Amino acid sequence: MKNKILYILPSKEIGGTERMVIELASKINKFNFDPVVMTLQGTGSFHRILNEKNIKNYSLNIKENPIVAMMKIIFIFLKEKPSLMHSFLFAGNIFARFLKFFLRIPLICSQRSTDDWRKPFHWKIDKLTHMFCCLIISNSNAGKKALVEKAGIPPGKIQVIPNGIDLNCEKEKIEKAHIVPHKDIVVGSVGNLRKAKGYEVLIDAASIVIKKRNDIRFVIVGKGPCEQSIKKRIKENHLEQFITLSGFQENVYNYMVNFDMVVIPSLWEGFPVIALEAMACGKPVIATKTGDLPEIVLHNITGLLVDPGRKDQLANAIVFMAENSEIRTQMGKNALERVKIFSMDRMVEQYCNVYSSLLNETHQQLKTSY
C-alpha cells in the first residue's frame, strides 16, 4: 500500500512553487507514494492543471467560510489518511504547523526564497513554531541562511534540495512572428507579476534600452497581483509598442524558445526554476545577484549578473547582450551544458528519500512507544 503525501499550499494560481509541486506530485508514484494536494484558497489555474494531470486535490477557500473549511479538513484527513504532510510558502507552513498540533503524522515545511518581504514578526513566528515540523527543506543555500540568521532555526534541521527541471520535455516552437516582428531582438521574462520579481525595474530599464536601440522588444509572460500597476507603468513610460504582456502560459517553453535572452530582474529570490528553464532552451540569462541566482547563472559564462533594483546595470547588460550576438550564442551553449546537473529526476529522488527516511523513523518511534 502506498503512503500518501499531503501537499499544503496557500495559492490557487500557478507560480514557480506550484509548478514544482505539480512535477513532484506527477513523479512520486514510482517511489511508492501517492500525492494529494490541498490549497487554502479556492480553485484556480493550479487546480485546473492538477485535474488535467489526474492529481487528487482539494481547495478549502478558508477566507470565505472558515467553518466549512475546517469541516473539509476533517473530511480530507478521514478520507485520505495521509502518512505525511509537506507544506510550502509562509502561509502554508504556518497553517500546516497548526494542523500538526492536533495530528501525529510527520510534517515537512519548505523555504522557497530568502523572503526579504518579511517583517521581524514573520521570522518570530517561524522561530516559535518550527518545533512542530520535523524538517525544513530549502531549495537554496540562501534560503537556509535566512532561516538560520533571521529565525534562529538550527542549521541541522534544514536540508537543501535544489530545484530541478524535466530536461526531456518537448519544446514546441511558436513562430517568432506571433510574438514580435522577425527582425527584432526579443528580451523575455517569465514569472508571477508581484513585487519581489522586480518587473517595475525591468520596465524602467526597458525605457533606457529603447533610447539606445529601437529594435529590441520585451515580452513578459505571467500574471499576478501587480499586473495593473505594471500596465500603468508601461503606459506612463510610453512603452506600449515595445513591451508585450502575454499573460499566463502553461507551457513557457513555447515562448522561451523564441527569446534571444531571458531576464530575471528579481529583488529577492530563492532558487528560481525559470533560470533553469531558460538554460534548458539554450538561452543566456541576465539575472540579479540575489538568492541562489549567482550559483545558477555563471557571470560572463552562461549570462550576466547585476545588482537588484539597478535599472542602469540591467539596461547596460541587455544592450551588451543585444550588441554581441556571438557572445550571446556562446553563453546560450554554455547554459545548455550547465543545466544538465539540475535534473527533475534527481530532485524527485532526493525528496522521496527524505519521505522514506522520515516515515521509517516515525514507524520506529511508534514501535518503541508501545
242: Cβ–Cβ under 8 A, 6 or more apart, which residues? 206, 210, 214, 216, 217, 218
Could you write out the DSSP letters of every residue in 6-39?
EEEES-SS--HHHHHHHHHHHHGGGGTEEEEEEE
Give, for all 370 residues of the chain, the pLDDT tens digit.
799 999 999 999 888 899 899 999 999 999 999 999 999 999 999 999 999 999 999 999 998 889 999 999 999 999 999 999 999 999 999 999 999 989 989 999 999 988 888 999 999 999 999 999 999 999 988 899 999 999 999 999 999 999 998 887 655 555 554 666 667 899 999 998 999 999 999 999 999 999 999 999 999 999 999 999 999 999 999 999 999 999 988 788 888 888 999 999 999 887 888 999 999 999 999 999 998 899 899 999 999 999 999 999 999 999 999 999 999 999 999 999 999 889 899 999 999 999 999 999 987 776 665 5
**In Å, how far are 4, 28, 101, 148 from 355, measured between CA atoms?**
10, 10, 20, 23
Ramachandran category for residue 109: left, alpha or beta (phi over 0 → left; psi -120 to 50 → alpha): beta
Q: Walk me through the domains of the chain, giving residue ranges and CATH numbers.
A: 3-164+344-369 (3.40.50.2000), 176-341 (3.40.50.2000)
- Residues 6 or more apart whose CB falls under 8 angstroms from that of 100 comprise 85, 107, 132, 133
Label residue 104 left, alpha or beta by phi (over 0 means left) and psi (-120 to 50 means alpha).
alpha
Task: Give the dihedral sign, CA 76/20/266/150.
Answer: positive
Q: Which amino acid makes up residue 220?
A: I
Residue 282 corresponds to which cell in the numbers above?
539554450
DSSP 215: S
User: Within a 13 Å sphere around the CA of 5, how many CA atoms are in the beta-carbon half?
Assistant: 27
Q: What is the pTM of this model?
A: 0.79
Report the pLDDT value the prediction gives residue 169, as an integer from 0 to 100. 62
- Residue-level pLDDT at 177: 43
Q: Which three cell numbers, joined as nine digits, stand for 335?
A: 547554459
Q: According to the model, what pLDDT value does residue 329 have?
A: 97
343: which residues sit within 8 A by CB, 6+ positions away?
164, 165, 166, 167
What single DSSP character describes residue 322? H
